[in-house]
Amino acid sequence: MPLTGAQAGYGNDFVTGMRMAVKDVNDAGGIAGRPVELVTLDTQAEPQLGINAVNRLIGVEKMPMVLVAWSSVVKAVAPICNREKVLEINTGANSPEIATLGDYVYTAFPLAEVDITKLAQYVYQTLGKRRAAVLYINNDTGIDAAKLYRDTFTKAGGQVVAFEAYDPKATEFTGMLLKTRAANPDVVHLHGLTADTPQVIAQMRQLGLTQQITTYSAGYNPKLIEQCGPAAEGLIVTSLAPGVQENANVAPFLERWKKEVGRVPNGLPYVQYQYDMIPLAKALYDHVDKKGQPATGDTLRDALVEIRTFDLPMTGKMVIDGHRVNKPVYLLTVKKGAFVPLATLS
Amino acid sequence: MLDPIILAQILWTGIATSAPYVLLTAGFALTLKVTSLWNFAQAGLMAIAFYAMFFCLNVLAWPVFAAIGAAVVLTGAAALAVEVWGLQVLRQRRSGNLTFFIFTLILSEFVIYVITLLFGTEPQTLFKSILSPVAIIGNIAVSDWDKLAVATAAAGLAALWLFMTRTREGQFLVAVADNAKLAELYGISAQRAYRVVAVIAALFIVGAMYLVGSHGGIVPNTPMELVLTAVIATLLGGIGRVFAAAAAAVVLALIQSFSILLIASRWQNLLLYGFLFAAILLFPRGVRVPRLRLAGARR
Amino acid sequence: MEYLSTIGILIAIYVILAASYNLVIGYGGLATVAHPIFFAIGAYVSGLLAIHTSLPPPVTVLVGAACAMLASLLLAASALRVSGDYLLIASLGFQLGLLQLIKNLEFTGGPGGLGGIPATIVGPARTPAYLVIAALLAIATVFAIRALVRGPYGRAITAMRDEELAFTALGRNAMSMKLVIFAIGCGIAGVAGGLYAFYFQYVSPDQFEVLQSAAILTMVVLGGMGTAFGPVVGAVLLLAIPQAITFLQLPPSIMAPMQGIIFTVLVLVFLFLRPAGIMGHAGRRRRTAGLT
């Protein structure tokens, strides 16, 4: 997990979520009567450090299973896990490539095709938009998602009138936005990161682009509303985890978080997944234990495939479909300065 | 896309967005001119300026002018410290270029690490909102930030020009830039000139970081990227030509902005480096624009 | 054990990088900062060749190194025409510009990096085999460079670096010597890149940014610029210490910047108090290579 570096805000919260789950599991008796211990290592979301960390977890701590997030790290450590027969579970990255990284690489987090395709279809069918502009950050996340959105939207019958990538370090988007404005879209899908998304939205509104804006879960962040103010009204974001209204466990979890950490989590839906990784792991270990097998990468992987359907406290039902996972997509919109649920797509 | 209104909008926003870079380039180029040093330590100063303002505004809840004032004092003090206890020491030792480079680069890295320790790595903005009120003037969106940016850069450059041409202190700077040893013979203190330049650069840095920080998120590593743009503009402007470098900063920004009409936006940054290579290969002395020779004009 | 072996292989790779950088900057006196990009060129070229052709790994690594050499000649020939100072800025621009290009092209894997480099050695003997290969290459590099700078060519290099004017007056060609040194140093970095690509099977453009330049620079400065074994000391320190620190279980939010602070402070202290580095000879008046 990136515990330092630019992504540390998320990484630290991910670990906190897991620790809370570990405490709950241990309070309820642990796994097969033994307490769970969480070993975390800082990857700074960098491939090389991720490799070192995983090597250490496998070689020194003798872990049969690792939980990893951040696409570049997931990809970088895949060869090691495949070689060492260690189960690698992705808990937060969404690059579609993850489904094809190898026999020992699985994901518990829905990859990009889940929320992006459903969003694009919703925009066409329910919102009735026909001309879409796709603006995306020129990195892994953005490129894959933008292509998916474009392909889905055109397949549904729509037209992608603008398809522009921007440099991750850019701060000024006038040219790109004016080009977009000239193409006359009726909806704009923005796929960036937490740092640039507010800037693009703000500049869009300032340049007079009034179209509906959609983005993905990186936009589901209270700080964005703070930074954009009225420019954020009407923004539609996706979330891959049920909210307070859809799942009864979320509200108490949020309260507990606020009490223990003193603020809201960075990326609540992501943190819900992190929490659920522990009960997921427990289910695997229990399964293996019941069969009297030792916990190795192979047995845990087989357990994952055999159990297939998990009922997890924070994110609900999870079905492992080969190296993918299919989940409902929750849409939210910004109304009067706060996120409110809009629709659920399954 | 060649609609005159669109072009005018790109032009205006491009100029406004280039304003902080103009200030940073001016400070960097002035330092290079007078001290003959590519002062990468300015990246560290940029970080100090921004986070000082950030801290005063958001943690101490000071009013804006107090925060800016505090940043000026802190950044100026840091700049002087680097000059007096770092650069001057190396000069006395007759250290090589390499040593100066390593010192300034690593010092910036050190400052950035300390700031990372203190403030973390989440993107921060000076104010809660990055939205600035927009007025439509002649079909072009002009925001308050735009106006402030252009005004600050113009005022800064004008003040610098007046300083360098109309005051004694400023002319001492030019003398030292030309030939430090000769200037000393005339009783001009090179050391004093270096310190004055350090303070001027610090002022420009604070101005620039205020603008950048109120427009978008900053992380501790952002100054390293900012200093790079200053380097390229300085190269294009020509070593020793401060105002040409400032102009180059504007031109670079405009070329990047207008390039959108011809190429995909993701190649915009690559253009910057393309220009760097062109500069190195074709214009090592800077791009020269033929100037009118007026009678009695000074160089 | 895999963990320690991987660290060992990384150390070997960085010894190669630091030693070759030392050749360029310490012995050759060429101020450049772009060493990581030649590392990158070696890694990407051999990785791509491994994925798309069936050339044997040693060949792809050599081709990668050759590409790195070619690129370095291109850079040096253009920049040195102007001045030594220019090389510094030009190298920075070259590094970042080429990285931008890599991030924007599809066949290099773009910003996501180049994955799926085929495994060349399989089975339990893999890691030990790579460790041996890496160690041999590292030792060969260090001793080859040492031999180079101790012989007559080495004296010529020192002469060129310390008194270029006299050197040229005596009829020697400083420019061609600089180009040769630069090419050798960058070519060796390319070899390190190939080695990296094959062992880790994944290369990401983020690994070759300015931070990497600063890391290699730190290794060389701390170890002792212009000494034969300084780079080895530097590489070991800079890789082993952070890993050791992670075992101390300090809170992560202070660990990473703390490491950065420790190393930058060390460099600054050495720069002012002991420019010769750990392996260098103390005292400022020196006839051999190094920092002043």
Determine whether B213 is exposed, middle or buried from the number of CB atoms within 10 Å of its CB (0-12, 13-18, 19+): buried
Q: Taking the C-alpha atoms of A111, A116, A117 and A123 in order, what is their torsion angle to the nearest 10 degrees?
A: 160
φ, ψ of residue B269 in degrees (nearest 5): -65, -35
Burial class (CB in 10 A: 0-12, 13-18, 19+), B18: buried
Least confident range of A267-276, B17-26, B262-271, C148-157? B262-271
Q: Residue A132 pairs with which residues in a beta bridge? A: A160, A187
Q: Do A170 and B17 touch (CB under 8 A)?
A: no
Class of the domain covering B4-282 = mainly alpha
Which CATH homologous superfamily contains domain A113-239? Response regulator (3.40.50.2300)
Instruction: Report the greatest alpha carbon distance in chain B.
Output: 60
Contact yes or no for A41 and C246 at CB 8 A: yes
Do B120 and C218 count as a contact with CB atoms less than 8 A apart?
Answer: no
- Tell me whether strands A87-90 and A105-107 are parallel, antiparallel or unpaired: parallel
Neighbours of C (≥3 Cβ pairs closer than 8 A)?
A, B
3-state class of B214 per DSSP? coil
Residue C155, Cβ neighbours under 10 Å: how many? 11
Low-confidence ranges of chain A (pLDDT < 70): 2-11, 32-33, 42, 44-45
Q: Which two tokens stand for residue C225?
A: 């610029």
pLDDT: is C275 or B147 the higher one?
A: B147
CA proximity to C115, closest of C39, C45, C201, C178: C201
CA dist., res. B217 & res. A38, Å (int): 33
Which chain C residues are Cβ-neighbours of A97 within 8 angstroms? Answer: 112, 115
* Predicted local distance difference test score (pLDDT) of residue B193: 92
- Mean pLDDT over B236-242 rounds to 83
Q: What is the pLDDT of residues C91-149, one digit of tens each?
A: 888 888 888 888 888 888 888 788 878 877 777 788 888 899 999 999 999 999 988 88
Residue whose token pair is 């193409």: A183
pLDDT at C287: 44
**Confidence label for C212 from pLDDT (cuts 50, 70 and 90):** confident
Percent of chain A with pLDDT over 90: 23
B101 pLDDT higher than 90: no
The torsion region of residue C283 among left (phi > 0), alpha (psi -120 to 50) and beta comes to left
Domain A8-110+249-326 matching CATH 3.40.50.2300: the answer reads yes
Q: Does B113 touch chain C (CB under 8 A)?
A: yes
Per-residue pLDDT of A13-60, as tens digits, reads 777 888 888 888 878 777 766 777 777 776 766 777 788 888 888 877
Q: Distance from A67 to chain B by nearest Cα, in Å?
A: 23
> Nearest CA of chain A to the CA of C83: how many Å?
31
Classify A88 as helix, strand or coil. strand
Tokens of A97: 């490539």
**Structural domain tally of chain C?**
1
Q: Which amino acid is at B76?
A: G
Domain-located, residue C271: no
Does C31 sit within 8 Å of B93, measured CB to CB? no
Higher pLDDT, C196 or C87: C196
Closest CA to C126 of B265, A79, A186, A148: A79
B137 at A interface, C-beta within 8 A: no
Alpha carbons C107 and B287: distance in angstroms, whole number:
36
To the nearest whole Å, the CA of C140 is away from the closest chain A CA by 25
pLDDT one-digit tens code per residue, C20-37: 999 998 888 888 888 999
Which residues of chain A does C13 touch, with a Cβ-Cβ cutoff of 8 Å?
Answer: none
Same fold, A8-110+249-326 and A113-239: yes
Q: Mean pLDDT across the stretch B7-30?
A: 93
Q: Provide the b/e sequence for A311-345 (b: ≥16 CB within 10 Å).
A: ebbbbbebebeebbbebbbbbbbbeeeebeebeeb
Cβ within 8 Å, pair C256-A97: no
The domain spans of chain A are: 8-110+249-326, 113-239
How are beta strands A338-345 and A329-335 bridged, if at all? antiparallel
Contacts 24+ apart (CB under 8 A), A225-230: A225/A334, A225/A337, A225/A338, A225/A339, A226/B128, A226/B129, A227/A198, A227/A202, A227/B125, A227/B128, A227/B129, A227/B130, A227/B131, A228/A198, A228/A201, A228/A202, A228/B129, A228/B130, A228/B131, A229/B129, A229/B131, A230/A205, A230/B131
What is the Cβ-side half-sphere exposure of residue A42, based on CA atoms within 13 angstroms? 25
Residue B1 banded pLDDT, cuts 50, 70, 90: low
B288 confidence band (pLDDT: 50, 70, 90): low
C248 falls within a domain: no
Share of chain B above pLDDT 90, in %: 52
Query: Rounded CA gap, A256 and B75, in Å?
Result: 42
**Which tokens go with C210?**
């300015």
Q: Which of residues 194-213 of C touch B (CB under 8 A)?
A: 210
| Largest Cα–Cα separation, chain C | 60
Report the pLDDT value the prediction gives residue C121, as an integer from 0 to 100. 78
In a domain, C160, yes or no: yes
Tokens 């360029």 belong to C24
Query: According to the model, what pLDDT value does residue B299 have?
Result: 44
Query: What is d(CA C231, CA C244) in angstroms, rounded to the nearest whole number?
Result: 20
> For residue A9, what pLDDT is reported?
57
Mutation for testing the B interface, residue in C102, C259, C267 having most B CBs under 10 Å: C267
- Is A228 in CB contact (< 8 Å) with chain B? yes
pLDDT, tens only, C236-253:
988 888 877 777 776 666
Share the mean pLDDT of chain C: 85
C111 interfacial to chain A (CB closer than 8 Å): yes
Q: Which of A259, A243, A239 shows the shortest CA–CA distance to A251?
A: A243
pLDDT of residue A119: 93
Query: What are the tokens at A254?
Result: 């949020």
Which chain B residues are within 8 Å of A176, Cβ to Cβ?
260, 265
Domain edges within chain B: 4-282
| pLDDT of res. B295 | 44
pLDDT value of residue C260: 84
Rounded Cα distance between B255 and C233, Å, is: 46
Find the helix or strand (DSSP H, E) in which A341 lies.
strand A338-345
Residue C55 within a domain: yes
**Mean pLDDT along residues C43-61:** 91
Provide the sign of the torsion angle of the four alpha carbons B148, B153, B154, B159, taken in this order: positive
Partner residue opposite B225 with nearest CB, options A8, A169, A195: A169
pLDDT number for residue C15:
95
